[in-house]
Amino acid sequence: MTSSRRHWNTVRGLGTLWPALAFGAVFALTVVTTRSAQAQTFTVIHNFTGGQDGANPQAGLTMDEAGNLYGTANGGGSLTCNAPNGCGTVYRLQHKGAGWIFNPLYSFIAGSDGANPLARVVFGSNGALYGTTDQGGSSCFGLGCGTVFKLQPPSTACKTALCPWTETVLYRFIGGSDGAAPGLGDLTFDQAGNIYGTTVFGGSSNNIGTVYELTPSNGGWAESVLYSFTGGSDGGNPYSGVTFYRGASLYGTTYFGGQSSNGVVFQLTPSGSSWTESVVNTFRNGSDGAYPIAGLISDPSGTLYGATISGGSGGGGTVFKLTPSGGGWTYSLVYSFTGHATCGPWGNLVLDGTGNLYGTTNCDGTNQLGSVFKLTPSGGSWTYTSLHDFTGGSDGEYPYCNVVVDTKGNLYGSTYAGGSQNVGVIWEITP
């Protein structure tokens, strides 16, 4: 087991173990409301129980056109799963009037279907949900090396409260050159419907991760590895997904590797039938930051934004941007968080229509239990606003998630722990 794998398992061990309690399939709204100094209203809209609804959501949320929320929980779920902390769920929160109705859509059982999803689910063009599990699938290394899956709603109208969706496994990783353990990153689609993602481990070089593509083939899906990281100057252990930049090259981050072993931003460019990797930026654990886990987003001008979980002048990670310049990229620091190593943003940032950046920190903030923040551009600099500092009580703690912003400016996310059962919450912040 590599040192990075031990670190990841340690991080995933946050929170308190929970009993496998059985609860109903539809959960009513639970509300805990606080108001911050910035006049934002914070509300808990679901408390996870560790039962059929799930536990310890690691990833953030996805929103459909109707404003409903979809996500994954790393633990809890089906009682037929024999893992001590559960095998995880996919769920939906439906907007009903002024409240929310929680429905589990699928519970993993750690068989060929997969187990313990870390990444959020995303919609494909066909309306199905797509995602990955970190474990399960094949029998490699005892726990399984993870899956890529699709979830579809029932073909006929549901007549009961429990309305599970149908899972189809598109690919099961075997832990060899194909990769192992998809991390926190979203899946990405190209215009032809091919799927792109990353694995934290596996690959043909040093078991340190891959970028892969899934292509429809003979009624199924065929996997091809676009790049295997070596852990050298090219980077290693990509926890986030990849994103297309202007429809051509793929960009992403790695947690390790690079000239100082503090991670890189990389580019993959198609070259004939293969792909060529180049490093756009290497982190040095100084004011620039270290250990990026979040992926990259871009603004309309083509500037890329990302985050690191450590380093920076305050020690608690950074937000950075990469600006196209003369055929290359120029790194600029946007903000340095004050806190401890690994406490910075784990989830992808998000931009609103006016250019503000939103995100979460894992364990920075006033109480060192995480925060939700806003960065506002102003005269060539950025102004930081804390929208909520988690207390570890009913409001939750340790938000690894991305933030989702709706058309009214409301923000949504989750926490890994805290809440009424100390296994996480889903929250809303309204202006």
pLDDT digits (tens, 9 = 90+) for 174-195: 999 999 999 999 999 999 999 9
**C-alpha–C-alpha distance, residues 172 and 139, integer Å:** 10
Given a contact cutoff of 8 angstroms between Cβ atoms, the answer to whether 358 and 371 are in contact is: no
Q: Given 3-state DSSP classes, what are the helix, strand and coil percentages for the chain, each rounded to the nearest 5?
A: 0, 45, 55
User: How many domains are there within the chain?
Assistant: 1
Within a domain: residue 157?
A: no
Average pLDDT over residues 221-248: 96
Average pLDDT over residues 238-246: 95
Residue 199: name the closest of 271, 137, 154, 270 by CA: 137
Q: Which residues contact 160 (CB under 8 A, 6 or more apart)?
A: none
Looking at residue 157, what is its pLDDT? Answer: 73
Looking at residue 161, what is its pLDDT? Answer: 59
**C-alpha–C-alpha distance, residues 342 and 11, integer Å:** 9
Enclosing domain of residue 343:
32-39+283-404
Residue pLDDT, tens place only, 82-126? 888 899 999 999 988 889 999 999 999 999 999 999 999 999 999
**C-alpha–C-alpha distance, residues 292 and 263, integer Å:** 6
Confidence of residue 12 (pLDDT cuts 50, 70, 90): very low
Residue pLDDT, tens place only, 385-408? 999 999 999 999 999 999 999 999
Within a domain: residue 229?
A: no
Looking at residue 259, what is its pLDDT? Answer: 94
Give the E-state strand segments of 362-409 in sequence order: 371-378, 381-389, 404-405
Residue that the structure tokens 């004939």 belong to: 272
**C-alpha–C-alpha distance, residues 156 and 180, integer Å:** 36
Within a domain: residue 341?
A: yes
Given a contact cutoff of 8 angstroms between Cβ atoms, the answer to whether 191 and 216 are in contact is: no
Model pTM above 0.85: yes
Within a domain: residue 361?
A: yes
Looking at residue 248, what is its pLDDT? Answer: 85
Length of the chain: 431
Within a domain: residue 293?
A: yes
Within a domain: residue 400?
A: yes
Given a contact cutoff of 8 angstroms between Cβ atoms, the answer to whether 245 and 298 are in contact is: yes
Within a domain: residue 321?
A: yes
Other beta carbons less than 10 A from residue 197's beta carbon: 28
Cα 2 to Cα 26, 310, 390, 401: the distances in Å are: 41, 20, 32, 25
Within a domain: residue 299?
A: yes
Residue pLDDT, tens place only, 274-319? 999 999 999 999 999 999 999 999 999 999 999 999 999 999 999 9
Tell me: pLDDT of 52 over 90.
Answer: yes
Cα 254 to Cα 232, 292, 309: the distances in Å are: 11, 6, 12
